[in-house]
Structure formats: structure tokens, C-alpha cells
């Protein structure tokens, strides 16, 4: 079951095993237990160092200069680049000033954060869901929780960090306790914008650790590479140990990768996968309480959704797709027409909708070259000499709807029917003999 972000949707391959979309798995192309990253554009972002840093003692606010969270009104020149090499427990003066202002006012213009890039790197500020030109502060209570967790996990290695983080916690508590600009805990926020791969990964890791019963994922794209599935295997095995049930939806193209079959076999009864001709964009739902979806085309921004109605809606969409999908261990249904494969059946339906070759290829997780090869075979089978004629033949053969709709042509009898070709031959349609999926 693929439920991580780092290296997810990997190289796609056609049925002959030729790579057609190489890259590392990641949030930009898929969600596997391998963690967070990108496939078409590998990310070089480093980890977020929002835990305590060794050395030093906080006497006022987290700023090195002890700025107590209040803006003095004096002019502060931009901080040098080296001033931002710190953790959330010791903010620089610029970070202290901008974050304090954000907490007091509820948000600040994005331009204000340019003098304190550390606030975005440490996830102390994030985009306003209603206006991306503004930044809203992460609740001080959330920062307190983060600091304490990191500190107590490493307390045996460095007890001096506890004092530094304790001072930072007191400062954050002071900011959040006066009722001005106080924000609710992360668990009660309906929608959170996660800007950047490190913040997405952190949220995903937290949701994975908290998951107790079920994970639902939708994985567009092509074949999963075996080595990258192995990267996230330990996460999936840990969830299986906790009794978590994992279900994933893939495209039919993913069936051609032996790595996915091996992966599911290792997870046993705890995981189940099904495939469709095409699926919706990335989706992952934990315990039907929190969901993650991409928020931009290159998937460097994600939405963390906790509103019960939104999460339930997405879970319902998943269940509808799951009901329509074919189990990974079952054969694909026949198209009902001799000489036309299931993939060509799907391509015919997408062409009938007016989609270009590139769009069809992307939706099916194959290369444009492979897609055009299928179209050429489809044209030959239906006896079409041009794209226009192919569209007519597709309609005549009843292939202009999704698989399972209109198969068997207009005859629709148990004995099947025939579609004439210009050369005098006929394409015979076979009536489906029951549902291969048991639905």
C-alpha cells in the first residue's frame, strides 16, 4: 500500500517493458510509502530544522537578541543570510519581529517575510488559503508541541537543549495566551496550506504515525519501480503491524510492473490494490479524518483537509472508484470486440471525447509514442484510413463510451453483432459473459 510522499510515481513503461516516463517517485507524481519528493523534477530541498539547536540560552523571545515578541518601531535592516541558520527555538531578530507581527495581526504580506526567510523554512508562516499573497502564522501552541517533542526525543543526547526549548516555549505561550491573534490547534483547522516539500512530508509523517485503522490512496501514473517501492516498505509494514488496512487505486498500466505485485504480496492481507483505466489526481485519506490533495500543478503545495464533510466526500469518491475498479489479482475484462485490447478500448473512448494524443497518454500513464501506436492498431482493426474516419468507426462499433457502456454494438444480443468495414470484412462484437470483477 503506497502511503508516503518522498518517491512515489516512478517511470512508466508500456506493455513491452520500455521505459516511457522515468523519474523518482514523489508527491508530484504519486504517494507511496517511500516518502515525499518529486518524479519529474527531483527536489533538492533539505529537511526542515524546526527542532532545537545546540548551544545558547534564550532569555527573552526566541531571537538571539532576546526580542520579547514586541516590535519596537525602530528601523531594522535586513538580516544577513548567515543570520537565518537557526531553529525555531532561537529566531533571528528579523524572524522575531515578523512572526510577532503576524501573530498580533493574524497575517502579514508575503513581502514582509523576505527579510526573514527562516519563517517559511521553519514552517512558522504559511500561505493564507484565501489569498496566497498573504502569510498566516502557525499557531504558537503548535510550535510549542513541535519543540517539546523534538527535545524530549533527544534529551538523553543533549540535556542542554531542554533549557533552550523551554525558554522558547514560554515565549510562544505568552504570544498565544493573551487572546490576540490566537489560532486553534492544527487538529481543528479545516484546511491547511502546506507550502514546500519539507512541510508536506512532516504533515504526512505525523498523519502516518497517528493512523490507527485505514489508509485510502489514489495513484495516477504508470509502473512503480521496484527499488523505490522498497524504500517505503518499512512504513507499510509498520502500519500492518498496527492493524491498519491499506487500499490503493492505480491505473491499468501499473499492472505491467512486477514490483507492485511483489510489494502487495509482502504486505499480505493488510493491503489491497485495484486498477482503473484512469484515476483522479493524487489523494490520500487517513482514518477518514484527514486527507491530502495537491494544490498546484507541480505539486509543491498541498492541502491538508480535516473538515469532516470534505474528508467524507473524498472518501466517498474513493469508494465509488473502488467499486468500479478491477482487483490487481484479477484479469482485465474483455472489450467485447475481436482484435481490440482493453487499453485500445479506453483510448477509443477518450478520442471520441475529443482529447488530443498527449492528453490521452497522460491520463492513461503511457507515453505519447505508445499511445499513437495503439491508435494505429485501432485504426487498422476498424478499417479507418484517417482520424475522421476513425471517429466514425469508433461510434459505429459502440466504443465511444467508457468500458462496459455500449459494448457489443447496436445489436446487443447474446450472439453478438458485427460492424462493417470499407473492405467488406466485419468486426465481430462479443457480448460480455458476466462481470470479471464479480460486481
The 8-class DSSP code of residue 242 comes to T
Other CB atoms within 10 A of residue 44 CB: 8
367 and 389 together in one domain = yes
Give the cell for residue 286. 487517513
Residue that finishes a domain, picked among 125, 158, 184: 184
Other CB atoms within 10 A of residue 89 CB: 27
Report the alpha-carbon angle 234-47-130, nearest 5: 105
- What is the domain extent for residue 423? 342-429
d(CA 405, CA 413): 14
For 258-304, what is each residue's pLDDT tens digit?
Answer: 888 888 888 899 999 998 877 778 899 999 999 999 998 888 899 99
Residue that finishes a domain, picked among 297, 327, 357: 327
Percentage of the chain with pLDDT > 70? 61
For 114-166, what is each residue's pLDDT tens digit?
Answer: 888 888 888 888 888 888 889 988 888 787 777 777 666 665 555 555 556 65
351 and 416 together in one domain = yes
Number of domains in the chain: 3
161 and 209 together in one domain = no
pLDDT reported for residue 356: 86
Q: Give a yes or no: residue 45 inside a domain.
A: no
Q: Give a yes or no: residue 72 inside a domain.
A: no
Amino acid at each position: 500500500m503506497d502511503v508516503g510522499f518522498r518517491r512515489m510515481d516512478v517511470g512508466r513503461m508500456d506493455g513491452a517493458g520500455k521505459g516511457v516516463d522515468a523519474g523518482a517517485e514523489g508527491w508530484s507524481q504519486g504517494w507511496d510509502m517511500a516518502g515525499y519528493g518529486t518524479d519529474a523534477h527531483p527536489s533538492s530541498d533539505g529537511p526542515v530544522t524546526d527542532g532545537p539547536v545546540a548551544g545558547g540560552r534564550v532569555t527573552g523571545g526566541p531571537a538571539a537578541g532576546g526580542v520579547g515578541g514586541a516590535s519596537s518601531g525602530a528601523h531594522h535592516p535586513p538580516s544577513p543570510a548567515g543570520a537565518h541558520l537557526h531553529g525555531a527555538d532561537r529566531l533571528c531578530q528579523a524572524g522575531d519581529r515578523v512572526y510577532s507581527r503576524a501573530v498580533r495581526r493574524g497575517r502579514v504580506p508575503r513581502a514582509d517575510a523576505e527579510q526573514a526567510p527562516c519563517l517559511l523554512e521553519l514552517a512558522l508562516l504559511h500561505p493564507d488559503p484565501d489569498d496566497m499573497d498573504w502569510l498566516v502564522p502557525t499557531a504558537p501552541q503548535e510550535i510549542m508541541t513541535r519543540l517539546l517533542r523534538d527535545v524530549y526525543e533527544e534529551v538523553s543526547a543533549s540535556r542542554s537543549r531542554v533549557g533552550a526549548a523551554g525558554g522558547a516555549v514560554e515565549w510562544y505561550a505568552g504570544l498565544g495566551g493573551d487572546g490576540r491573534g490566537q489560532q486553534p490547534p492544527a487538529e481543528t483547522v479545516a484546511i491547511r496550506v502546506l507550502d514546500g516539500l519539507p512541510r508536506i512530508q512532516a504533515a504526512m509523517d505525523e498523519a502516518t504515525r497517528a493512523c490507527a485503522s485505514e489508509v485510502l490512496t489514489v495513484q495516477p501514473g504508470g509502473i512503480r519501480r521496484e527499488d523505490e517501492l522498497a524504500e517505503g516498505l518499512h512504513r507499510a509494514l509498520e502500519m500492518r503491524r498496527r492493524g491498519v488496512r491499506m487500499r490503493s487505486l492505480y491505473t491499468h498500466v501499473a499492472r505491467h510492473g512486477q514490483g507492485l505485485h511483489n510489494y502487495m504480496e509482502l504486505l499480505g492481507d493488510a493491503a489491497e490494490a485495484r486498477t482503473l483505466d484512469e484515476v483522479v489526481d493524487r489523494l490520500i485519506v487517513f482514518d477518514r479524518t484527514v486527507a491530502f490533495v495537491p494544490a498546484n500543478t507541480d505539486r509543491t503545495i498541498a492541502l491538508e483537509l480535516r473538515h469532516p464533510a470534505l474528508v467524507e466526500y473524498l472518501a466517498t469518491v474513493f469508494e465509488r472508484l473502488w467499486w468500479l475498479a478491477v482487483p490487481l489479482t484479477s484479469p482485465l475484462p474483455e472489450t467485447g470486440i475481436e482484435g481490440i485490447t482493453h487499453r485500445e478500448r479506453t483510448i477509443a473512448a477518450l478520442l471520441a471525447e475529443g482529447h488530443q494524443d498527449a492528453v490521452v497518454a497522460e491520463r492513461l500513464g503511457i507515453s505519447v509514442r505508445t499511445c499513437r501506436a495503439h491508435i494505429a492498431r485501432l485504426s487498422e482493426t476498424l478499417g479507418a484510413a484517417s482520424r475522421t474516419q476513425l471517429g466514425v468507426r469508433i461510434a459505429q462499433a459502440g466504443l465511444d463510451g467508457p468500458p462496459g457502456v455500449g459494448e457489443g454494438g447496436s445489436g446487443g444480443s447474446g450472439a453478438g453483432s458485427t460492424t462493417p468495414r470499407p473492405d467488406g470484412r466485419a468486426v465481430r462484437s462479443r457480448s460480455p459473459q458476466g462481470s470479471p470483477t464479480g460486481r
